[in-house]
Amino acid sequence: MKDFFSVLEQRHTTRNYRPDSIDPELVERILRAAQSGPSAGGLQSYGIYRVAESLSRTKLADAADHQEFIAQAPVSLVFCADPEHCAARFGERGRFFAIQDATIAAAYAQLAATALGLSSAWVGRFEEDKVRAAAEIAAHLVPVAVITIGRGDAP
């Protein structure tokens, strides 16, 4: 396990992945790390969707302006805000909190991937509706970030 500040120094965007699959236990650890972050009212107003199947990866890449490295990555996690959930407690401001909750979770996931010796990229350039379709995301959730995860040329 790496020292926290080494993780910060070593995290960088990787857009070239080896085809090797990722141990599901590592993905579970990343998901647990993502969910360990702060959230407004402790509500965790976000959803995380895992995309690993080949056709879904291709659809996800197409949804993101055909950024082909997304299809190459063995796993992507799609972080989605749940604005209604948070607004029910905090009103209109809660919609903004939900975006922040999802963003924090994505950032934690990316750092966890680095700590586990994996490579990643944050992807924000995408069409929300197409991402929903690619990852079978519930209609009321708002995709905020896609984190591609895999083993790169320089993890």
User: Contact positions toward ligand FMN, by CB under 6 A?
Assistant: 12-13, 15, 67, 121-125
Residue nearer to ligand FMN on the CB measure, 24 or 147: 147
Residue nearer to ligand FMN on the CB measure, 41 or 117: 117
Nearest to 67 by CA among 153, 133, 147, 155: 147
Which H or E run contains 131? Answer: helix 128-135
Chain residue whose CB lies nearest ligand FMN: 124
Residue nearer to ligand FMN on the CB measure, 90 or 100: 100
Q: How far is the CB of 43 from ligand FMN (least distance, A)?
A: 23
Q: Hey, which residues does 152 pair with through a beta bridge?
A: 17
Q: How far is the CB of 12 from ligand FMN (least distance, A)?
A: 4
Instruction: Please count the other Cβ atoms lying within 10 Å of the Cβ belonging to residue 79.
Output: 27
Count CA within 13 A, CB hemisphere, residue 84.
6
Residue nearer to ligand FMN on the CB measure, 39 or 67: 67
Please give the DSSP secondary-structure letter assigned to residue 153.
S
Q: How far is the CB of 88 from ligand FMN (least distance, A)?
A: 27
Which H or E run contains 56? Answer: helix 54-63
